[in-house]
Structure 1
């Protein structure tokens, strides 16, 4: 008696691709899951908590400097100080003193703020023979503390209006014709206010 192998039916042949497809899909999902676990460091979760501060806001202070309209006078060796209406018409000679009365408005706001007020001269001012023979001096009477040449240390107590005096003296000891017919640009003098760090 011989055993004959039954030929697959149409239904069993149709089921094979479905099983193969399901198996392939499951393998793909396992592979993707393993890849995600390896990238994300695992799927473990740890306890955590946070509590916000109840301190409230903190605000920044301020530092600012503005200049009002200044006025100039000129005093020669033999005379008294006279008002200057137009600086471009002035011809200075050794011994002359030009004086600027300069209103300032300083803003210094901060619990610990300190700043240095200076009169600074640019390099082009002193590059020529005339500028090299001019002495610059800043004075702010009763305002801050003088801490160096043309430098005043201010605090928040000095915030507000003040008046500075800037003098430009043509050195009396200038000899020969040093600086004759030359000019300097007074716009190369600047008032600066810088927060102190030492």
Structure 2
């Protein structure tokens, strides 16, 4: 029988590596969390306060324009002005003056408001031979200040009712048969009211 001793059993592995692995993971998690907090501003609370104004409300003004029922008249080179009840029956000739008396209702409400009242002629009005030989002139008697062609500057003092006069003159100097048998659409003339910016 052999007297040699059996080899000693191999030592049991300790739990240290596992503990070290868990410890390393925890340290990494803390580091990542700290980095995220610093990148996002953290969750620190800072002092703050607020106090509401005691000024009360402020209200908007208004701008509006409406037209009443206008009346037309026609004056030729010869004779006096005649009232016109149906424009579709009128045949104008050079030297004629069509006059519109137009009631307006202007709303201008605002501490600093100013606006421009205009008579604007559309491009289709002047595109033909007849329209290009018609002069359109707006006048507003004792109302606002004329600042340009067919333009009047108004303020809140002008808010309310007014009367505008629009004249359409077939140029007396029209030669040949320019504009003969043609027509223009008077609806291509519009009154506008626009807040002034300069």
Q: Settle same-fold status: TM greater than 0.5.
A: yes
Aligned counterpart, 1:86? 86
Post-superposition Cα deviations, 1:117-152, rounded to whole Å, max 9, x if no partner, equal: 011111111111111110111111011111111111
How does 1:40-189 map onto structure 2 within 5 Å?
40-189=40-189
Task: Using the TM superposition, name which of 105-114 and 80-89 deviates more.
Answer: 80-89
Task: Using the TM superposition, name which of 29-38 and 114-123 deviates more.
Answer: 29-38
Inter-partner Cα distance in structure 2 for 1:177 and 1:94: 10
Give the gaps of 5 or more residues in structure 1: 9-18
Aligned residues: 191
Give the gaps of 5 or more residues in structure 2: 1-7, 13-18
Inter-partner Cα distance in structure 2 for 1:32 and 1:80: 97
Post-superposition Cα deviations, 1:27-82, rounded to whole Å, max 9, x if no partner, equal: 79746743641442223222111111111111111111111111111111112111
TM-score (norm 1): 0.83
Inter-partner Cα distance in structure 2 for 1:44 and 1:117: 59
TM-score (norm 2): 0.83
* Structure 1 residue runs of 4 or more that deviate by more than 6 Å after TM superposition: 22-29
Inter-partner Cα distance in structure 1 for 2:137 and 2:124: 18
